[in-house]
Amino acid sequence: MTRSGRPSHSRLIVMTRFPQPGRVKTRLVPALGEAGAAELHAELARRCVRRMHAGALSTGLRLEVHATGAPAHRVRKWLGRNVHVRGQGEGDLGERLAAAARGAFAAGAPSALIVGSDAPGLSGTHVREALRALEHSDVVLGPATDGGYYLVAIAADSAVRALPPLFGPHVPWGSHEVLEVTSAAAHAAGLSVHLLEPLSDIDRPDDLVIWEHLSTEEERIRLQPRLTIVIPALNEEADIAKAVESAWGGGAHEVIVADGASDDRTAQIAASAGARVIDSGRGRARQLNAGAAAANGDILLFLHADTVLPPDTLQQVCHVMARPEVVLGSFSFAAGDPRRRLDLLISTIGAWRHRVFRLPYGDQAPFVRTSDFEDLGGFSEQPAMEDYEFAVRCSRLGRLETSPAIARTSARAWHESGLLRTTFTNAAVIAGYRMGVSAERLASWRARIAVRDSTSTDRPRANGRDRNGRSARR
């Protein structure tokens, strides 16, 4: 706790240097020259900070950049205006790491995770794994293949015992023995140590092949991404074939239907339409995450089972995601038959909703790079507003962009429950969530409305299905 009585966040600290030619990546100068080595260092650090920002958003950590070589305002101009920047202080690397950890604990942080900026494979997943490991270990280390480490994590209640053996003068900083000596010293001090998977740093000319391979793959993804379309479904036999067919017609590399234990023919129809069907368990967020975990595409698009995509889906996705600052894309919303006045009104209301709240919802077929989705930790497995919550996290990482192309969703929820009731319910749920009402309470409230609607055989029943067994809009 801080002095104000508010809980303090754990710290995620990136240690780096300002990219001044001749002062960074000096072992790469013979291969790249001073300017080339500095530019590579700058790109590695930008990449690290972005991915750690996503990891921090997925865990509630406070991200800080501890930099040396330039004042804070120049570091922020380089890495982003919203980055919290601190100096590293004086001394060797061990003394600066110890100072970073002590500063976090002095501020009341329950734990401190410190990473270097040289390992391009470091991701938000490693951050979450380190936090989980700290629940049963005193120290977590991320081994680097060159004998050092890319991450060290310490719990506050272990700090007094941990800091001297981890960061003392006995550690041969800059050598291939850093990890071995650090682990031995920690064990000698009675500390339990958990090791993450090894990752490669980019420090020596021999390491450049790793960076070249990564750069080539990212260029391929930018130019020719593989699009995985994930469709969560529950008793959608009337609509699932159209959704799957629109996914294939839009240029999907693969289509995954995450079935929530449907008791109709949803799974069979989806498989017949060419989708890979997985049994994900029930709950939209769980189904979305299960589908994403089974995917092998570069970009993930999440499609409601009662929504169809435009025929140029892949081209639209590529156009939006070509800009690296865009994190989350989506399509424009429309519902029902454009020749019907009521459906035109529904579409207008949906467009108004997007302009007011400025966030895409699930019925707009949102799409995101697989790497960003994984760094952000996927959808929060909550009973309502999982799409809104994910979009908020994406907006804190980068830009949101909406394609003018239309993803057309079924208007049946509005037809069955009434335009005013459905519109009011959707708006009230969004407003309640924005005001801090829990997702559990909102889901319960929405379910009670569905129960009241079930008094009509043409409206969703209490179990969330209409008289034809189709699921009402969740």
- Mean pLDDT computed over 460-464: 36
Q: Which amino acid is at 191?
A: L
Q: How many beta carbons lie within 10 A of that of residue 367, not counting itself?
A: 27
Task: Given CATH 3.90.550.10, say whether it is the number of domain 11-219.
Answer: yes
Residue 473 banded pLDDT, cuts 50, 70, 90 = very low
- Mean pLDDT computed over 113-122: 97
Would the CA dihedral through 371, 372, 374, 379 be positive or negative?
negative
Q: Tell me which residue has tokens 């909102």.
A: 442
| Helices and strands, number each (H, E), in the chain | 17, 15
| Fold of the 224-407 domain | Spore Coat Polysaccharide Biosynthesis Protein SpsA; Chain A (3.90.550)
pLDDT at 429: 79
Tell me the pLDDT tens digit for each residue of 19-30.
999 999 999 999
Q: Which amino acid is at 328?
A: L
Angle, helix 419-434 to helix 386-397, in steps of 10 degrees: 50
Domains 11-219 and 224-407 share a fold: yes
Q: Residue 118 in contact with residue 178, Cβ under 8 Å?
A: no
Q: What residues are paired with 122 via a beta bridge?
A: none
Q: Which residue did the predictor score with more confidence, 444 or 139?
A: 139
Q: At 50, list the tokens.
A: 């972005």
Q: Residue 31 in contact with residue 25, Cβ under 8 Å?
A: no
In angstroms, the CA 407 to CA 430 distance is: 21
Residue 208 banded pLDDT, cuts 50, 70, 90 = very high
Q: Which amino acid is at 121?
A: G
- DSSP-derived pairing of the beta strands 149-155 and 111-116: antiparallel
Tell me the pLDDT tens digit for each residue of 350-399.
777 666 667 888 889 999 999 999 999 999 999 888 999 999 999 999 99
Angle, helix 159-167 to helix 93-106, in steps of 10 degrees: 170
Report the mean per-residue pLDDT for the chain: 89
Q: Rounded to two decimals, what is the model's pTM?
A: 0.89
* CA nearest neighbour of 465 among 162, 232, 451: 451
SS3 196: coil
Would the CA dihedral through 340, 345, 349, 354 be positive or negative?
positive
Tell me the pLDDT tens digit for each residue of 48-106.
999 999 999 999 999 999 999 999 999 999 998 889 999 998 999 999 999 999 999 99
SS3 446: helix
Per domain, the residue ranges of the chain are 11-219, 224-407
SS3 16: strand
Cα 216 to the chain's mean position, in Å?
Answer: 23
In angstroms, the CA 440 to CA 448 distance is: 13
pLDDT at 18: 97
pLDDT > 80? residue 419 = no
pLDDT at 354: 66
In angstroms, the CA 142 to CA 194 distance is: 9
**What 3 state SS string does 291-314 have?**
HHHCCCCCEEEECCCCEECCCCHH
In angstroms, the CA 119 to CA 122 distance is: 6
